[in-house]
Structure 1
Amino acid sequence: MTTTSTDPTPDFVAETLAVASDRIGSQLAVVGEPFPGSRRTLVVRARTSDGSTVVVKRYLGDEGAEAYAREASALAALAGFGRTPSLVAECGDPRLVVMDDLGEGQHLADVLLGADEDRAAATLAGWATAVAGLHRAGRQVRDAFEAGVLARSAGPVELDGLPGLLEAAATDWGRLATALDVPVADGAFDVLTTVPGRLRVDASSLSAADMCPDNNLVSDSGLALLDFEFALWRPVVWDAAYLRVPWPTCWCAWSLEAAAADVALGRWREEVGKSWPAVLGPDFDHDLDLATEAWAWLAGSWCLAPLVDGEPRRTNPLKPMPRMPDRVLGLLRTAAAGRALPELADTAAQLARAVEVTYAATDVPLAPAFAGGVLR
């Protein structure tokens, strides 16, 4: 049966709950409507026979196979962490997991799109603290995570896909530069492929990978991290740099108020430094610059390609995004700083000017919470 999380049929939901009920040994009844999701998953809240609730997540299509392997393995490896849902049960055919229900609440993206600057700054710092906790707990689970992914997958799965993404971006930027009439030498972007090997601090851990402002739940007890469909093992600096770019893989990519972002990053470094003291030193400053500029080139290629290729932009009123040309301009200006990749600084500046002229790009506005509650 084929379906998507945007149009689940009652029969499909019933089938999913029947499998989940069998796995946990309790009859489940759906509560409310399925959660808004993606084409990869169906997510529903369900009530057990004793009145408690759980969340059932079913993975759909070919993409769902890897998503299931990564998320189930990550949640199993992080058992007892306390800032992620607990894995109650799972099934490999059909692919689904049953998790404990963390309840209702907002996520960081909701807060950033609100009007309370103080709450936004505090929640941003809470996000950084939660991510730091994940990194400290996750540093010890590589073997369990890797074994879990292999056991749940039909074939080999890369634990860290960033090197491959950087290789793809190095190739694509040549094409994009040509489209913008910016001359570059052959192989000019190959330096991007060297980034993983240039990191100085050896600090890697389990990451949710898609560390976006909407992949969490904010409650009185703190901030919990959700959605480990892309979980992988990689250097922690890539997640920390989300506060500097910001949000390179996310829709809610509004600019952050600089002081609030600095406080959040400082909170993350202070906590992570308890496990990796080098994170507090100058070598990590270097790594942070390197990851920030590499993210700018990666996300810049992802955002510019649809503009160059004339692909229509899909909008979602529930997920207001900055204008794509503005995002590309901001990312290229970040890359033009060139503190870590000076070889590409001048090229980034030329590309930024071309994007500014070609697409009437301007600065990405501050997140509404830092701009008086106004969505520009």
Structure 2
Amino acid sequence: MIRCWTARRSTSWRRRSATGSGEPGGFDDLLAAAERAWTGHRLTLIDVAGVGSDRSVVLRVTVDGGPATAVVKGWTTSAGSDAPARETAALDMATARSLPAPALLASAGDPPLVVMSDLGAHGSLADALLGTAAPAADGALLAWARAVGRFHAGTACSADDFAATLERHGGAGLAVDLMPRLFREAADELPELLELIDIRAETAVIDTVAAFGDVLQTDLPALSPADTCPDNNLGRDGELLLIDFEGAMVRHIVWDAAYLTVPFPSCWCSFSLPGEAVTSALDAWRAEVRPAFPEVDGPEFAVDLEAATVGWAVVGLRWFLRRALEDDSPLHPHRSAPTRRMFLGERLRRAATTTHPVLGAVQELAGQVLDRLDSTIGAPRLPPAPAYR
């Protein structure tokens, strides 16, 4: 058992070539910077593997003097974000501990970039959930749970290590755990949000939300990618490896476990999951985590899992209520996805029926909001993932 104690965006390297996105020559500055960071390796662009809004780009490259291929991820120098430091530090720790994630091959701070091992163009949990085969979805869900559990077990009680690694990669002074700030901001915004639907925020609710971490009865911190969504992983050799560590932090492991019970609170592919699939995935996650945190089998953790499930519902109000009042568009523009009103309705129903012993005020508020939405814009139920229909 482990015991724990407690500006204007620069676009220089984003320039595309005249022949179009993804053609060689479109990202010369970024590739040159990556070569300087990874001494002795010459990189040639294969394709653009992904573009993260306006602040990052992911390139797949061939390598002379190293592995056949690699992946370069770069951020704009004026992104105004701690994402580069968090991702680099998390990859550094994951590589040193042989965790299920890309290996960090090189990094730089100016411009911010990482060079990672190439996991290939394999499927993700999202692909399985959007497919047509329930057994494939079950298998992918179990693989996701094992990967997250291995990550937790391999970084148990690592707050000091993560802080030191952040500092080495330009993130000195960054918060190791961002959950307290997330809930403080949610509490600050709650009265204004509720005014939009003519509900008054009671002081008891605001105080509970602002200090939501105090509700948890256990103290089980580990490194989390923070955004463990079904599309933030890739399959390889029968397992899933986690990607996207821009929000990485050391936080209570229950926040990731609750991604199964909510499910997937920050994700566009947040469909309803069969109860037996969730139970099996939680069992697989516990099997990985148990050597580091045997408390996951205890009654206090079960209560904390209920609290985290409700907590994500509260955060979901902040993330989605405004847009849900305006329209009911899907959460993804191109792939099968639920709408914002489905997303909110599911989480509010879960919070409104909670059995948690000290979240009565939140439960009452969730019921009020659900009734108001149901009688105005509607709060439809979340449909099953396509693979389970």
> Would you call these one fold, judging by a TM-score over 0.5?
yes
Q: Give CA-to-partner distance per residue, 1:178-216, whole Å, 9 cap, x none.
A: 221234434533211232122122211000001111110
**Do residues 188 (structure 1) and 205 (structure 2) align?**
yes
312-321 or 352-361, which moves further after superposition? 312-321
Q: Aligned letter for 2:125?
A: L
CA distance in 2 between counterparts of 1:312 and 1:153 reads 40
Mapped contact 2:204–2:361 kept (Cα < 8 A) = no
CA distance in 1 between counterparts of 2:79 and 2:306 reads 32
Corresponding position of 2:377: 359
CA distance in 1 between counterparts of 2:290 and 2:172 reads 36
CA distance in 2 between counterparts of 1:346 and 1:321 reads 29
Superposed, which structure 2 residues align to 1:1-376 within 5 Å? 2-3=10-11, 8-10=15-17, 13-24=27-38, 25-50=40-65, 52-63=68-79, 65-79=81-95, 80-139=97-156, 141-153=158-170, 156-308=173-325, 310=326, 316-340=332-356, 341-371=359-389
263-272 or 87-96, which moves further after superposition? 263-272
Q: Give CA-to-partner distance per residue, 1:141-200, whole Å, 9 cap, x none.
A: 433321121233366211111111111212322222222123443453321123212212
CA distance in 2 between counterparts of 1:140 and 1:155 reads 19
CA distance in 2 between counterparts of 1:43 and 1:131 reads 23
Q: Where does the alignment leave 5 or more consecutive residues of structure 1 unmatched?
A: 372-376
91-100 or 190-199, which moves further after superposition? 190-199
Classify 1:322/1:21 alpha carbon distance in 2 versus 1 (closer, same or farther; 3 Å): same
Q: Where does the alignment leave 5 or more consecutive residues of structure 2 unmatched?
A: 1-8, 18-24
Cα deviation, residue 286, structure 1:
0.7
Runs of 4+ in 1 over 4 A off after TM superposition: 311-316
* TM-score (normalised: structure 1): 0.92
Mapped contact 1:328–1:355 kept (Cα < 8 A) = no
Corresponding position of 1:374: none
Mapped contact 1:4–1:40 kept (Cα < 8 A) = no
Cα deviation, residue 311, structure 1:
7.8
SS at structure 2 position matched to 1:28 = strand
Cα deviation, residue 140, structure 1:
5.4
CA distance in 1 between counterparts of 2:347 and 2:56 reads 30
Cα deviation, residue 115, structure 1:
0.6
203-212 or 344-353, which moves further after superposition? 344-353
Classify 1:59/1:312 alpha carbon distance in 2 versus 1 (closer, same or farther; 3 Å): farther
Q: Give CA-to-partner distance per residue, 1:330-358, whole Å, 9 cap, x none.
A: 11111112322122212211210111122
SS at structure 2 position matched to 1:359 = coil
Mapped contact 1:326–1:363 kept (Cα < 8 A) = yes
SS at structure 1 position matched to 2:283 = helix
Root-mean-square deviation (CA, aligned residues, Å) is 2.2
CA distance in 2 between counterparts of 1:115 and 1:54 reads 32
* TM-score (normalised: structure 2): 0.89
Mapped contact 2:341–2:379 kept (Cα < 8 A) = yes
Cα deviation, residue 300, structure 1:
2.4
SS at structure 1 position matched to 2:376 = helix
Number of residue pairs the alignment of both structures matches: 369
SS at structure 2 position matched to 1:48 = strand
Classify 1:320/1:2 alpha carbon distance in 2 versus 1 (closer, same or farther; 3 Å): farther
